[in-house]
């Protein structure tokens, strides 16, 4: 008899076979016994109660009946046919209906043999029916590993069409338990289990798939959620400790002329206390012989660029080069212009490298980089092309990092023999729970105060019916010499519609704000870069009073004179986008405004988003609401969502458990950094197994 372990391919499990194995792999990512064991139900149904047919109500609930099939017929329809069986108990009859898989179902059904059926009922023309019921012979039902709480597993249309029903999945898991005798290796230490009053791994796995009662199900969920979060934290914290002890970084001992001259002569305003604290944290990192890997969070306009520039100047003082990488050409150009302006009069060479830089200029940049003549290079992902070689890159700064994939970021490492210090910046505040999970291996700094003189942007929600009063308000602001943004959503699937919305909006604004009294710029994704730049420059110079645009202006446009942001169809934007757009105004000393325009028809989520925007300008509060509404995968964007591909835990709902898991992981690693103590043997073995099978934790967060 073969011996199976949890790494055995799922195709060897009784009841699976090659074709089902392929489907499980492609649809659910289940390849091994271990994957199937960790494929958890997403809900449970109480299967203790049986109904008689004459007790059925017209409310389409999920019910369970014992009875026999007395008749089967095939009924022709406009498209194809459906299979209908008459199902009776001693009190009446009901129709069972199948619209798919009729042939093999018909062959499998047994007439006049007791079945247990389960499903949702429909009521039509005085008759109850049950489409695609789950069915089991009563004799099998009595034999099976049974539970009062029936697990319901996630599924897909393709699996259902191919006959892999919930009952079949449950049966596969039962077969698996039998193959491995229902015993699972413990993965936590005895002290953790006792301190946190957790049930054993075997009891948890048994009760998550076949709960004996609600209390045991709750204990199983608690144990498995803790374990999942604990191992994520263990990986992240261990990575951080290893990096700090093993990965050497350049030691920036000197703070010299570059830094001091800038600080004395060019700094445009006094640093806030938050900026000073962050600089202290950075200086401690870059002067410690270990490689810095720090995340700098700060709301739009909080002064992250100044902190980044001061850090780059310390690199220059120590004989190194610096780079700043941004996700879009607009943002890279913005950084370049503001840094060149800030460094005016200082002997620092700064260049911009983006996709639209001409070959001739590119060649000069490459040569100056390799000779060391070029001090600071700013650009888009053009910076990580293999051709771009630095003489000695000391610090790489990455802005709005959630827009870069892990692989792109790690390429910055390969630019030197020793990895450069890494400073990752984001104006998208990251909730604490998410920061602990996704960025748990980074040190985190926060700039949580705005520079003095900045006024909070006043935000209002207005319906389309109020448009005339909004236009009147815009005219009053323009009369004061201010400028206005009007932004339309851009949603890729419906570019034609977006373009139409934008052009319709542009026309109605042109009618309301006619030439020669008003000048209007328009910017959208279909324009050539040169035309876009021309329109942007007209607005920047104040030649136009209104900028009608799609979300290309979401990041990196800094026009202090623009004091009103009108967001059209605001219900179509996510919270973080609304917050980013609002951050484009309020950059000067004048009072600024953000007006959210919507139709009357709003979903519950849209109402929460709009109310949140009106009530608060605190980026962290907004991010917490966003996380609750959208979940972690969506919040991070597709590149990051894999990092939190959680099987059972939910970092929003289980935030308290995440904190416990993190503190337990820190405690374990503080006492036993390499997990060599006998009492941590199970943790070490489980950690090695997870590390072998997990490729998501790359060198940089």
CATH number of the CATH domain containing 600: 3.40.50.300
391 and 506 belong to one structural domain: no
pLDDT value, residue 409: 55
List the end-to-end C-alpha distance of the chain, in Å, as a whole number.
45
120 within domain boundaries? yes
Asked whether the whole model's pTM tops 0.75, one would answer no
Q: Indicate the residue among 89, 119, 146 that finishes a domain.
A: 146
Q: Phi first, then psi: what are they for 572, rounded to 5°?
A: -90, 0
pLDDT value, residue 131: 92
- Average of pLDDT values for 559-582? 89
pLDDT value, residue 219: 95
Q: Phi first, then psi: what are they for 382, rounded to 5°?
A: -60, -25
580 within domain boundaries? yes
pLDDT value, residue 434: 73
37 and 95 belong to one structural domain: no
pLDDT value, residue 145: 64
133 and 276 belong to one structural domain: no
> CA-CA distances (angstroms) from residue 673 to 196, 311, 438, 687?
21, 31, 21, 13
Determine which helix (DSSP H) or strand (DSSP E) holds 533, and give its type and residue range: helix 529-540
Confidence of residue 603 (pLDDT cuts 50, 70, 90): very high
Q: Are 396 and 325 in contact (CB under 8 A)?
A: yes
Q: Phi first, then psi: what are they for 301, rounded to 5°?
A: 85, 10
Rg (CA), the chain: 31
Q: Considering its fold, how many domains does the chain have in total? A: 4
Residue 204 burial (C-beta neighbours within 10 Å; 0-12, 13-18, 19+): buried
480 within domain boundaries? yes
126 and 176 belong to one structural domain: no
- Per the structure, the complete domain to which residue 21 belongs is given by 1-41+156-182
338 within domain boundaries? yes
From CA 35, how far away is CA 511, in angstroms rounded? 62
338 and 465 belong to one structural domain: no
Largest CA distance in the chain: 96
pLDDT value, residue 98: 92
Confidence of residue 576 (pLDDT cuts 50, 70, 90): confident
Break the chain down into helix, strand, coil percent, rounded to 5.
45, 20, 35
DSSP state letter for 248: B
Q: Indicate the residue among 100, 122, 146 that finishes a domain.
A: 146
Q: Is 519 left (phi over 0), alpha (psi -120 to 50) or beta?
A: beta
Average pLDDT, the chain: 86
Q: Phi first, then psi: what are they for 412, rounded to 5°?
A: -65, -25
559 and 605 belong to one structural domain: yes
pLDDT at 92 over 60: yes
Other beta carbons within 10 angstroms of residue 193's beta carbon come to 16
327 within domain boundaries? yes
From CA 328, how far away is CA 539, in angstroms rounded? 19
pLDDT at 216 over 60: yes
What is the domain-level CATH number for residue 9?
1.10.150
């Amino acid at each position: 008899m073969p011996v199976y372990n949890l790494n055995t391919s799922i195709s060897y499990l009784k009841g699976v076979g090659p074709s089902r194995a392929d489907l499980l792999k492609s649809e659910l990512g289940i390849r091994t016994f271990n994957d199937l064991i960790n494929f958890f139900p997403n809900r449970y149904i109480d299967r203790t109660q049986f109904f008689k047919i004459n007790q059925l109500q017209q409310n389409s609930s999920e019910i369970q009946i014992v009875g026999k099939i007395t008749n089967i017929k095939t009924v022709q329809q406009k498209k194809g046919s459906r299979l209908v069986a008459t199902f009776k108990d001693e009190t009446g009859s009901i129709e069972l209906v199948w619209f798919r898989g009729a042939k093999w179902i018909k062959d499998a059904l047994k007439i006049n043999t007791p079945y247990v059926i389960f499903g949702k009922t429909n009521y039509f023309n005085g008759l109850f029916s049950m489409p695609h019921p789950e069915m089991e012979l009563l004799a099998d039902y009595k034999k099976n590993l049974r539970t009062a709480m029936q697990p319901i597993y996630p599924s897909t249309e393709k699996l259902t069409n191919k006959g892999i029903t919930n009952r079949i999945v449950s049966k596969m898991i039962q077969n698996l338990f039998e193959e491995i005798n229902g015993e699972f290796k413990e993965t936590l230490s005895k002290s953790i289990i006792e301190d946190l009053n957790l049930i054993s791994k075997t009891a948890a796995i048994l009760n998550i798939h076949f709960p004996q009662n609600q209390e045991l199900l709750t204990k199983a969920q608690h144990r498995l959620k803790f374990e999942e979060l604990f191992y994520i934290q263990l990986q992240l914290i261990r990575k951080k400790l290893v990096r700090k002890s093993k990965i050497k970084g350049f030691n920036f001992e000197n703070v010299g002329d570059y830094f001091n001259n800038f600080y004395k002569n060019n700094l445009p305003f006094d640093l806030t206390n938050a900026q000073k604290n962050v600089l202290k944290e950075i200086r401690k990192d870059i002067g410690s012989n270990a490689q810095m890997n720090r995340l700098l969070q700060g709301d739009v306009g909080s002064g992250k660029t100044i902190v980044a520039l001061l850090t780059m100047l310390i690199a220059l003082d120590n004989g190194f080069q610096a780079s700043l990488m941004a996700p879009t050409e607009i943002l890279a150009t913005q950084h370049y212009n503001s840094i060149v302006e800030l460094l005016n009069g200082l002997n620092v060479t700064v260049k911009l490298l983006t996709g639209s830089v001409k070959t001739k200029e590119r060649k000069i940049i490459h040569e100056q980089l390799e000779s060391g003549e070029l001090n600071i290079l700013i650009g888009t992902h053009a910076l990580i092309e293999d051709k771009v070689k630095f003489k000695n890159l000391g610090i790489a700064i990455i802005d709005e990092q959630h827009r870069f994939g892990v692989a792109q970021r790690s390429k910055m490492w390969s630019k030197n023999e020793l990895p450069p210090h890494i400073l990752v910046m984001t104006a998208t505040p990251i909730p604490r729970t998410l920061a602990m999970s996704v960025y748990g291996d980074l040190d985190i700094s926060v700039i949580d105060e705005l520079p003095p003189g900045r006024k909070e942007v006043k935000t209002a929600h207005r319906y389309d019916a109020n448009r005339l009063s909004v236009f009147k308000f815009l005219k009053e602001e323009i009369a004061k010499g201010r400028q206005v943004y009007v932004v339309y959503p851009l949603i890729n699937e419906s570019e034609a519609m977006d373009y139409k919305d934008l052009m319709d909006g542009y026309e109605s604004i042109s009618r309301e704000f006619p030439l020669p009294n008003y000048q209007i710029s328009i910017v959208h994704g279909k324009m050539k870069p040169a035309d876009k730049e021309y329109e942007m420059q007209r607005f920047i110079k104040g030649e136009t009073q209104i900028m009608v645009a799609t979300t290309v202006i979401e990041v990196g446009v800094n026009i202090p004179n623009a004091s009103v942001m009108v967001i059209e169809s605001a219900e179509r934007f996510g919270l973080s986008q609304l917050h980013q757009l609002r951050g484009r105004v309020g950059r000067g000393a004048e009072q600024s405004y953000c007006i959210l325009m919507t139709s009357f028809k709003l979903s519950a989520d849209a109402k929460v988003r709009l109310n949140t925007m009106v009530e608060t300008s605190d980026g962290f509060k907004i991010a917490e609401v966003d996380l609750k509404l959208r979940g972690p995968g969506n919040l991070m964007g597709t590149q990051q969502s894999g990092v939190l591909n959680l099987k059972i835990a939910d970092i929003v709902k289980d935030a308290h458990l995440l904190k416990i898991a993190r503190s337990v992981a820190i405690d374990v690693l503080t006492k036993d950094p390499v997990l060599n103590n006998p009492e941590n043997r199970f943790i070490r073995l489980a950690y090695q197994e997870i590390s072998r099978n997990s490729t998501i934790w790359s060198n940089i967060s």
